[in-house]
Structure 1
Amino acid sequence: MNTHDPQKNDTSKFPDPVYKETVLKPLFDGAKTNFIDGFRAIDRAHLVMLAETGILTGEQAGKIAEALAAIDREVDPAALEYTGEVEDFFFLIEKELKARLGPDLGGRLHTARSRNDIDHTLFKFNLRRYIDAAAGGALDLLAALIDTAEREKTTLIVAYTHGQPAQPTTFGHYLSAAIEMLIRDIERLYAARKIVDLCPMGAAAITTSGFAIDRARMAELLGFSAPLQNSYSCIAGVDYITATYSALELMFLHLGRLIQDFQFWTSFEVGQLYVPNALVQISSIMPQKRNPVPVEHMRHLASQTVGRAQTVLTVMHNTPFTDMNDSEGETQAMGYQAFDSGMRVLELMTSLIGQVRINGKRVAANLDRSCITITELADSLVRREALSFRQAHEIAADVARAVVAADGALGSDGFVPFKKAFADHAGRETALDEDAFREIVSPEYFVAVRKRYGGPAQEPLDVAIAGYRAALNNFQQQADDLAARMDAADSERGQCFDRLRGKA
């Protein structure tokens, strides 16, 4: 029986060289790049709170504040090389405090807190700024879409289903569909922002603290809306990550579908969407080619954003409901890449959408060739000739077949086959003359009579656009309020910290 206790003979010292290079050094370097501002803010806010609650005396807090300010002046994080002397950036700051203040006072800043609540507060502190930037980019795109939809609310296009011409509508109506989808995506992003806006500080390792800390004050000093209530959830409930990256993934999945339409519409065969020269690259060998490659870049960057966001979600899958490294520094930094590529899409699409135009000549040709106003002929026969829709549909189908077979256009070549089809199916002559027929099958009439809620006619579209502008204004107010709260917190935290130093 082996009764050997390996711990008794373990003379190894932390950190193992391989662990240092593969884990600790990358984490330290990531902290230097991404989290310095958050560390500083949390240290200052925690120190202010400890002084205000009497956990530290004013003299103790003042000396610690002065030491923290000195560390900021004297230690350049970007110039630091990880040596393994301390485990991470948190312990580096504590080491610097102890060197300046002695081990007793230098260790008092960590009273009533843990790396657990510090970490998730730090990650939320950073993440909300990424969300706010993405929301700002999305609002710029939303404004551009609304402006273009209003400008193009009477501009005819061919609407496609299953890759085939289906019905005429307007570019403004099409963009309105994209606007409504983007509004829902922004709502999801702001819903995630509300989860991120709850502060974990004060949870300590898991169960809060026996010290009389003020969690609400910590949240206020860091610009959060409130503390996250359950202390276990503060370190285990990483739904702030999953909510954020789910919202981000959906936004760019949806924008990718719009981008795919733009790619199709700019093809030579369709030619419905004109991209101006400033956004077109010419082939290096074929001078006749106009390549609207920004559309392709938007497409692959949107896909990269979806993939990166999905990767973060996958990392969270099947992880334990507790504190864990899976949700921490390297995963957080990886997620920021999704925001970076997503911002490029938003900026490029905002620029593109304001500059593109519909090629009316190509649209008119495609409308003529495709007979896609034929649905309104059937509808009008029901209303004007008192036919059943099925009977009217059969007449319209015969007309479309005859016009397509003759390689003609519905408006100019459809009346003769229409008279015959009507007589064949209805057993009588139609009351419509050729002028009435031409009006009924015109794309302008098709759009104008579709005045129902949500339709492409000018009346419902004007109502819709007014609603979109109201939604944009509400979002902008929300963004302004969040920014103002964070700015106010930064200012108050700085003033309180300076008062501890006697600098106010």
Structure 2
Amino acid sequence: MTDTSKFPDPTYRDTVLAPLFDAAKDHYAPSVRAINRAHLVMLTEEGILPRDVASQIAGALVDIDAELDLSTLEYTGEYEDYFFLVEAELKRRLGPDVAGALHTARSRNDMDHTVFKLVLRQKTEDLLAQCTDLALALIATARRERDTLIVAYTHGQPAQPTTYGHYLAAVIEVLLRDGQRLCDAREVLNHCPMGAAAITTSGFAINRHRMADLLGFSAPLRNSYGCIASVDYVTGLYSAMKLLFLHLGRVIQDMQFWSAFEVGQLYVPNAMVQISSIMPQKRNPVPIEHLRHLASMTVGRCDAVVNTMHNTPFTDMNDSEGEVQVAGYAAFDSAARVLKLMTALIPSCSIRTDRVAANMDAACVTVTELADTLVRDEGLSFRQAHEVAAATAHDVIARSAPLAQGFAAFSAAFAAQTGRALRLDAAGFADAVSAQSFIARRDRFGGPAPAALDDAFLQYEYEMAECCQIDRLCRDRVAKAQSTLDAAFNALLTE
């Protein structure tokens, strides 16, 4: 049979090619421009292209950049994609023989993955900078709240006293580990696919290391098949992003719980509170809800990208390219909103010490230290001490009295358990159930006591300084590469 159809089919054009072309205009044109210029420089330096030919191509590329207004372009189907549009513009200016020389020793396969890495690298750098801002805000707030008592909860119930600074220090440590996972993902992004061509590199004596240098990568990605088949730079990055916002979501959930009327431990300032249109008494900390759903949306968007790679072949494929790449950018957008809002919200909040004190009294959260004191000072086993402390707690809770008023019940429970009188007097009992004493005694490595926390803050600041130094080196490498590429490309224009 005779096939008289012509590419592209209108439906295919409108549902696939046009959206991909729009995405290229919105996201990829600068990266394509950089690759074209770097590849031209490399081909010329290696003697694969004569300098006079390279000079003509360089001039035409400059003209295309000056004359092609991307904002006004609409996809017509005349050219398959943005790559072929640029190639057609070169042919129109130089003729097919000269224009076609630019594509020597490369493929859209290695170009595409290099483009995606260049875009993701910048987005990851921006994300890491936002993580740094949040970490610094958390460290400053934790220092400010080092000695501020809070009730720590386990299984949704009051458990023990600690400090807000100690709680935030735990958040900081997770954030630093999540940041390290992002840095590891960035390192994978920093290996350049250019020179892999379609699959197996090229029969031309190309210089892959030079291409990597000109584009600001740390090195070429070694295996050429992997350059076009391995998408771990995508799955690794979005997996690291997912964990970051999954973990932040748990902190957000605590903020929601702590700010509830029945708990009231966290005070959200008026600037971050919305009112009800009907109920005059309401103070709704709505930003926390927005943080929760934006963090969840970010997790879901990361999952969408990673899951798209499931059961795909280990080869070049569209499943990892335009549509999926653009879908992932939405994760970066919601991620930025979460980090920016958290960086503003957490330092603006404060702890309601009156509610903390009331909840501590109501829930006997210091009673663990009372049991510990019996072990140290009265020689009881911890199980015996636990029984005495439990009986004391049951008594004061039944009477709706604070634990500090439980000395009589404590003495009776001790006598019933041991058959002897207490050596611990009322003053010693009061000290044992004091929240301040509870914190002070927990001065072990990683504990909430001031000295332990101060040591932790110094460590966090050291780790932050190291991360910032690595970030600066990465940005400096990219900036230096841009300058080197500009100089080498501009030298071609003088021929």
What residue number does 2:196 align with?
203
2:345 to 352, 368, 388: 352
Query: What secondary structure sits across from 2:197 in the alignment?
Result: coil
The list of structure 1 runs, each at least 4 consecutive aligned residues, that deviate by more than 2 angstroms after superposition, is none
Letter in 2 for 1:382: V
2-structure distance, mates of 1:390, 1:292: 43
1-structure distance, mates of 2:367, 2:165: 22
2-structure distance, mates of 1:420, 1:443: 23
Residues 1:130 and 2:147 aligned together: no
1-structure distance, mates of 2:216, 2:154: 48
2:76 to 73, 83, 91: 83
What TM-score do the two structures reach when normalised by structure 1? 0.97
What residue number does 1:341 align with?
334
What residue number does 2:264 align with?
271
Cα deviation for residue 461 of structure 1 reads 1.0
1:378 to 339, 361, 371: 371
Residues 1:463 and 2:455 aligned together: yes
Cα deviation for residue 453 of structure 1 reads 1.1
What residue number does 1:402 align with?
395
Residues 1:65 and 2:58 aligned together: yes
2-structure distance, mates of 1:307, 1:96: 40
What residue number does 2:322 align with?
329
Cα deviation for residue 290 of structure 1 reads 1.1
Q: How does 1:136-151 map to 2 (within 5 A)?
A: 136-151=129-144
1:430 to 410, 416, 422: 422
Query: What secondary structure sits across from 2:39 in the alignment?
Result: helix
Query: What secondary structure sits across from 2:161 in the alignment?
Result: strand
Letter in 1 for 2:180: E
Matched length: 495
Q: How does 1:198-347 map to 2 (within 5 A)?
A: 198-347=191-340
Letter in 1 for 2:459: G
Cα deviation for residue 388 of structure 1 reads 0.8
Letter in 2 for 1:26: P
What TM-score do the two structures reach when normalised by structure 2? 0.99
2-structure distance, mates of 1:67, 1:401: 85
What residue number does 1:477 align with?
469
2-structure distance, mates of 1:259, 1:169: 19
Cα deviation for residue 353 of structure 1 reads 1.3
What residue number does 1:3 align with?
none
2-structure distance, mates of 1:491, 1:270: 57
1-structure distance, mates of 2:192, 2:218: 8
1-structure distance, mates of 2:119, 2:170: 33
Letter in 2 for 1:164: Q
Letter in 2 for 1:251: L
Cα deviation for residue 478 of structure 1 reads 1.0
2-structure distance, mates of 1:47, 1:394: 80
Query: What secondary structure sits across from 2:417 in the alignment?
Result: helix
Provide Cα deviations, 1:346-403, integer angstroms capped at 9, x if missing partner. 0000011111111001000000110010110000000001111111111001100000
- What root-mean-square deviation, in Å, do the aligned CA atoms of Structure 1 and Structure 2 show? 0.8
Letter in 1 for 2:490: D
Query: What secondary structure sits across from 1:193 in the alignment?
Result: helix
1-structure distance, mates of 2:313, 2:107: 19
Provide Cα deviations, 1:324-351, integer angstroms capped at 9, x if missing partner. 0000011000000001000100000001
Query: What secondary structure sits across from 2:253 in the alignment?
Result: helix
2-structure distance, mates of 1:210, 1:354: 59
1-structure distance, mates of 2:122, 2:244: 18
Q: How does 1:13-52 map to 2 (within 5 A)?
A: 13-52=6-45
Cα deviation for residue 287 of structure 1 reads 2.2
